[in-house]
Amino acid sequence: MSKVIMTVDDSASVRQMVVFTLRDAGYEVVEAVDGQDALAKAANQPLNMVITDLNMPNLDGIGLIKGLRANPAFKFIPIIMLTTESQADKKQEGKAAGATGWIVKPFKPEQLVAVVKKVLG
């Protein structure tokens, strides 16, 4: 069975790109528009990995990571955050909240797949 990855981003174009790239690489992808949406969808959906943006309305990436880690089902799954270069401190904050790693925007499809393979095996 293919692994399920959730992409959380308020930008539709980034989501579209992530979805396209990962489906192409053989993963199943679930979309969520922000942290709140993601937590709601995660409640009734098994996930193997989450890729989340940090700046989002309603509930941001850091909040989402904390929320996911509090749920035993998602305590050990890899969570990758999408950051921009200027968010070095955010990166630290995300790490502290339990993020596995990060991808610096902008990124190319093959870089995304490489990171997913790295943390998901």
Partner 1 sequence: MNDNYRQAFQEEATELLAELETALLALEQNPGDAELIGRVFRAMHTIKGSGAMFGFDAVAAFTHDVETAYDLIRNGKMAVTQAIIGLTLKACDEIKRLICEEAGALTPESLALSQAFRQLIETCPKEIPKVQAGLFDAAEAAVPSPAGAAPEITYRIRFKPEPGLFATGTNPILLLNELRELGKCSVFANTEDIPFIEEMEPEGCYTSWDVVLTTDRDINAIRDVFIFVEDQCELAIEIIDDGSAPDGSAEYKKLGEILVERGVLEPLELQQMLGCQKRIGTLLMDSGKVSAEHVQAALMEQEHIRDIRQKRQAAEVCGSIRVPAEKLDEMVNMVGELVTVQSRLNQLSNRMGDLVLIQVAEEFERLTSGLRESTMSIRMLPIGATFNRFQRLVRDLSLELGKEIVLKTEGEETELDKTVIEKLNDPLVHLIRNSIDHGIEKPEVRRAKGKSEAGTVLLSAEHSGANVLIRISDDGAGLDAAAIREKAVEKGLIQPEAALSDSEIYQLIFLPGFSTAKTVTNVSGRGVGMDVVKKGIESLQGTIDITSEADRGTTITLKLPLTMAIIDGLLVRIEDTHYIMPLAAIEECVELTRKDVEEAHGKHIASIRGEIVPYIHLRQLFGHLGECPDIEQIVTARIDGGRIGFVVDQVIGQHQTVIKSISRMYNHIEYVSGATILGDGSVALILDLPKLVRHAEVKQ
Element (H, E) at 104: strand 101-104
User: Based on CB atoms, which residue is closest to partner 1, 15 or 37?
Assistant: 15
Number of residues that bind partner 1 (CB under 8 A): 35
Tokens 């305590």 — which residue? 75
Q: Is 45 in the site for partner 1 (CB under 8 A)?
A: no
Q: How far is the CB of 97 from partner 1 (least distance, A)?
A: 9
Give the Cα separation of 32 and 70 in Å (integer).
19
Single-letter amino acid, residue 50: V
What number of residues does the chain have?
121
Q: Is 41 in the site for partner 1 (CB under 8 A)?
A: no
- The answer to whether 4 and 46 are in contact (CB under 8 A) is yes
Q: Is 16 in the site for partner 1 (CB under 8 A)?
A: yes
- The answer to whether 102 and 94 are in contact (CB under 8 A) is yes
Residues between 55 and 74 with contacts to partner 1, criterion CB under 8 A: 69
Which stretches of the chain bind partner 1, using CB under 8 A?
13, 16-17, 20, 69, 75-79, 85-86, 95, 98-112, 114-115, 117-121
